[in-house]
Amino acid sequence: MAPESPADPPAVRTKLFQAAALANAFKDSEALGVYQEVLKINSQHYLALWQAAVLSVKIGSRYSDETRKSAYFDAARQYADRALALRPEGGESNYAVALALFNQATLYKAGARLEAFREIRSHVYLATEHRPDLAEAWQLLGRWQYRLAHYNVLERLYSKLLLGGVPEGGDSREAMDDLEKALTLAPRSLPMHYDLARMYKYQGRRRRAIATLEAAQRIAPITSEDLVILRLCSKLLPPLLRADARRQRQRARLGEKLKPPVQALPENTPTSLAPTPADSASKKP
């Protein structure tokens, strides 16, 4: 990623290129350290702030210890809030805030978690509105929508009585549309394949889940996180294949027309089984 402004002094531009190179090489801790150096020079540097927020979330997510997770997620929220203060309508700053909130919520008790999910809404929609090319923003929107769509009775009751109702936007179909959009933008993302395949599975779209998981099998993992996700995809696929085979046998016994074998999604067109609505980028908060 190039420096955000030609007004940056040479030393800052050099550090920004260095940080981007480290992040692209998946050296997240080192990249975060360089962005922090930039912020020591210019505490109001928008690019360094929102990138530091995203990297803090990535690093924190790798820890099993909740204290360390919380420390990184809290730092991410601070960076994101500072970026948001600079650009309240910025797609990147709103994405960073939504991402930090989403991850902080995993550590909260029920009431605080539901409040955080309510607060995420405006930020995640602004992120996709102002940065429709940012795959991770669509992925986050889809995950948020799907979680809202599956609030349990107590969560809905709490939201109704204490939070003014369940936030608008919790829809499983729209969640899948958003993950499909994310995968179109980042067709080699294993986490996005896995998220979408699980949504398909839980919504009874078994053949789409199979096609998505088979597409994931053709992607070579780059990071240790990718390897974990690929293993999860590999574990999820066989039961779906067995269920599809059973359904085909049932069709044969009943004399119904058999469906053609599931075709894996083409490598560069991962959403060919489920076209994304053309107006999906126009959703408003």
CA distances from 194 to 56, 200, 214 (A): 23, 10, 11
| Crossing angle of helices 206-217 and 224-253, rounded to 10° | 140
Closest CA to 249 of 260, 241, 258: 258
Coil, helix or strand for 7? coil
| Structure tokens given for 214 | 């088979």
So what's the pLDDT on residue 264?
A: 53
Task: Give the predicted TM-score (pTM) of the model.
Answer: 0.86
Closest CA to 35 of 5, 87, 21, 90: 21
Cα distance between residue 44 and residue 209, in whole Å: 44
Digits of tens for pLDDT over the chain (285 positions)? 444 555 899 999 999 999 999 999 999 999 999 999 999 999 999 999 999 999 999 999 999 999 999 999 999 999 999 999 999 999 999 999 999 999 999 999 999 999 999 999 999 999 999 999 999 999 999 999 999 999 999 999 999 999 999 999 889 999 999 999 999 999 999 999 999 999 999 999 999 999 999 999 999 999 999 999 999 999 999 999 999 999 888 888 877 666 666 655 555 444 434 333 333 333 444
Residue 96's Cβ-count burial label (10 Å; 0-12, 13-18, 19+) is buried
pLDDT digits (tens, 9 = 90+) for 136-165: 999 999 999 999 999 999 999 999 999 999
CB atoms within 10 A of CB 251: 13
Q: Please, where are the H alpha helices in the chain? A: 10-24, 28-41, 46-61, 66-86, 91-105, 110-130, 135-149, 153-162, 172-185, 190-202, 206-217, 224-253
